[in-house]
Structure 1
């Protein structure tokens, strides 16, 4: 039974990779977060400016301390004294050479889907940074956009609790379609093509179930 499940997952991954490549994305598969970290650092030349999205999967790598070194110009939004300073850095980071981020769902027909509270990740993945590197577990693969929306609204309450946003879904565990200022689902995007005006979108699949 486990072998059949493994073959099913492998077939789904291979189909998704083929679709992503047809849609202009660069795709690699690694086995561990450490390998994803190593590959990411190979893709980003030293001296590049780098921004990061908040992600449970990214937190499993050691990329953040690496980007904080003198080898890179890092847009530090995670350690600012005020919210106003954080917003300023997030806006400036839209001009980075590389955005490194996660995603909420990857469809078998080759689209990336994400949901955002503030919109900075959605904006960066759509336009701004020259290149985008997406690191994600294979558990984010869904059949299509409809199934992707289900996953987005599954992830929203979990991220609300992780970030301690004072939203109804933080307490109920499910989307309440609220109107609070800190809601997690203010912005939703579907990225259908990996080509960017000045670079590419590169996807690194970690062959494991990671993140939400």
Structure 2
């Protein structure tokens, strides 16, 4: 990224962070993926119970390894050997976590958080439950408005995730949303956080480097 584009992307991030704060959500701007962990150390109290939603961004920023090795009680949905029933139990337990980490499918420049989920555990926890929610979101996910967020989902994020998860859906084959009724459909529950009644319950770390889908 050349310096002129870098400056422009950073300005867009700052506008988005300001819009989030107008909506009672806290916005942070960091330059690189490596800057995420030091900020998380400030935001998550030692011995806190922590859970995560499915997220490529968290993995790319080293968040999962950080939580596993840090001074936290991490309810790890990815722990080897868990049965499907045990994973579902972690999903439900996550609602009582002190802190929940995930990403977003898109963030609008108006400070709206757009998410789409298949199991719906992630969007449900973001909307209500954990006392603190931290979203790690690359600048590549900032969009102008909700229409662009939907377009981004249908033409990029959903097909890529369906391929990653080996879902037997039309979009995994064609590379674009087919508005399917497949049993494996990953676009089941849509949520938009436009405002928070609890100030700063939702915190968004905007990363200048692209992260996730």
Structure 1 length as normaliser, TM-score?
Answer: 0.92
Match of 1:30 in 2: 30
Aligned length, in residue pairs: 210
CA contact (8 A) 2:37 2:66 kept: no
Match of 1:17 in 2: 17
1:108 aligns with 2:113: no
Gaps of 5+ in 1: none
CA contact (8 A) 2:20 2:110 kept: yes
Find the residue that maps to 1:68 and give its secondary structure. helix
Task: Indicate the RMSD between aligned Cα atoms, in angstroms.
Answer: 1.8
1:176 aligns with 2:178: yes
Task: Measure how far apart 1:99 and its partner are.
Answer: 0.5
Find the residue that maps to 1:57 and give its secondary structure. helix
Match of 1:202 in 2: 203
CA contact (8 A) 2:30 2:206 kept: yes
Gaps of 5+ in 2: none
CA contact (8 A) 1:114 1:152 kept: no
Q: 1-side partners of 2:198 and 2:43: how far apart?
A: 16
Structure 1 pair 70–6 and aligned structure 2 pair: CA distance change class (3 A): closer
Match of 1:131 in 2: 132
Structure 2 length as normaliser, TM-score?
Answer: 0.91
Match of 1:164 in 2: 166
Q: 1-side partners of 2:94 and 2:11: how far apart?
A: 37
Structure 1 pair 20–86 and aligned structure 2 pair: CA distance change class (3 A): same
